[in-house]
Structure 1
Amino acid sequence: MSALFRNYARRPFAIVEGKGTEVFDTTGKRYLDFTSGIAVCSLGHAHPAIVEAIQKQSEKLWHISNLFESPGQEQLAASLVKDLHLSYAFFCNSGAEANEAAIKIARKHTGKHKIIVFQQSFHGRTFGAMSATGQDKVRSGFGPLVSEFITLPFNDVAALKAAVDGETAAIMLELIQGEGGVNAVTDEFAQAIHDIQQSSDILVIVDEVQTGIGRTGTRFAFEQTVIKPNIVSMAKGLGGGFPIGGILGTSELFDTFSAGTHGTTFGGNPLGVAVAQKVIELIFDEAFLQNVQQKSTYFVTKLKEAFPEEQYTIQGKGLMLGLGLGGEDVASFVAALDEAGLLTVAAGPKVIRLLPPLTVTEQEIDEAVAILKTVIK
């Protein structure tokens, strides 16, 4: 009998080994991993450069706390904000923690409390992040939530303009809703957010926990829009599998996040920042990002050949793609794909989310599409 709480609906097999895009369960069965730990293992499993970074740092220092200066944090922060309009970083352990920090700094900086969020969004499962999440299934059963989150339809310009007022502290959104169905922000909606930001003191928080660190073909997804966020949250791919999260913020927020306003025991530990530094050195390389874009184009082309647009939908950007089965529930197909040797994850009830490592090969994409076609059609 298991001593674990049953808060996860686990699949009935255990993955025990992986290399690149391939993983293996306890019986030795091979799978192509198109979940990447839910967009986490951006460089695949057991990438040699990450293994080396962990080994080297583990022999020096694991943890010292944020009572002391951190050269590793300084280097990682500088690398992340280089050539961006953002100026400062704070490091924590997860995406939910990053979004909690973003919410706190937005409220404190503006002196206002109302934050506009969107239906089908997902920002985490702590109370603040859960309150910002626009999905009832995540919020249900936990009693009163953190107040003054205003939930609007995603990509509805009229609803957004009507909701903004003098009490609005921030607009918080994912540019592609990962858990909510791989729904991308429209150009019109992005422009509306930009215009509101330019004409008011309202901050824009972009949740890049899933879309960031090269997943959509650029360092961050916001770089493909007109939006210039005041705060960006990140996690998942930042550590390539090692737990680390954080926020990036613009210069005017510096004095707001002063000593004692926020903190974390483990956040930005030497082991985590050493791994993250190696991850972004590899992923933020221009040639690497161009390769992600090329593989995305190849993947989308192959999906469209296998799944005609009259019956199916293909959405997303980079290597964060969704396959909609014409309104059909996907849970049984995800299980059948497991059996066939392809690991995927649902994005809501109607979309199969495809999140291969950014290092996936065209041959592995071909194999994945063939499995998808066999199982679904």
Structure 2
Amino acid sequence: MYQMQLKIDSIENRLSSRHYMKTENTESISGESQQEISRLREINEKLENEMKAASIASIMSHRQSALPSDNLNSIPPNSTTSSREIFNAASMVAGASIVDKLSSHTVSAQTGGYIRSGEETYVLLDRKELPLYKAWCSDQSKPRLTINLAKYIKPISVSYQHTKWNGLIPDDAPRIYDVVNCLDNNCKKWDVLVSNCEYKSSGYSISKQEQTCLIPSNRSMTSVKNVQFRFRENYGNKNRTCAYLVRVYGERTEPPEDRKAIERKEEERESTCSWISWQYNNFRILYNARNKTCPVLYENNCCIECPECCMECTMTTSFSDSMQGFLLFIIVLGTLSLIFSGYVQLCKHLQ
């Protein structure tokens, strides 16, 4: 397209140089050249439009690929979607684990009896193919599965996937379940993340049997580390419920600070600043010797309690201030020694 534009410019220059020629032959050449310019311009405009259309299609395709997928199973672990890192935090490979003491009693998926050690952890092994009898099974009527997630996340959705079935869904498959966020170590305090999730027996193809349950946006802002799946109903098996694969999708986040720890830090800060302010107003020698430096004041955010301190602070303690502090220490120590000595003498005298 660039070479074509050069050709058009060249023809226009030729026309300009012949503008003052008055012969009929020149006018004939000019007419032919004008036709050639028009034809080339049409071709050039057509190419420009095609390139613009291709560019717009490319941009739209890029934006579409940046949007979150409706099927979150298509998002691989540690992938970036819309500048957010979304992954399955319930994956054993990523570091998730079952909290046995907060989960229901387990049995063998094949026999319903004795279970081999570690067999129940298949429910956290994120994989495409789910072999028969490789599942977490419980003989309790409404079993609970508690998971320590790999990382703190802001949850987006949960999902359940059963082993492949055709036609009639297995009767031990979970049907209705809730997922809660455990707020303490024993999950006695909890918040509901999502409820009434249903693993449906129809409407899903065999090749796509992971069924997702979205977490409401007003609950997805919570920072989550331990979750509990509460299976309320299966498809008719009275002896056991078997879960083959659960997933918890979310965005990585920082662990929340303990509220009591935050309150304790604030109380300590206020106490420190109140003491520094009292020294500034009532015991300047001690203040100058210990707390007048800017780092001490600003690290404890004491400018609210004592704005004068921050106005007059220095970066280091001067030699004279240090000597005053040392002399003060000697005086206090000597005074305490005299008091103690006098107390000892008084005790001897009373005896």
Task: Provide the TM-score with structure 2 as the length reference.
Answer: 0.22
Point out the structure with max Rg over C-alpha.
Answer: 2
Task: Provide the TM-score with structure 1 as the length reference.
Answer: 0.21
- Greater RCO, 1 or 2 (C-alpha within 8 Å, sep 6+): 1
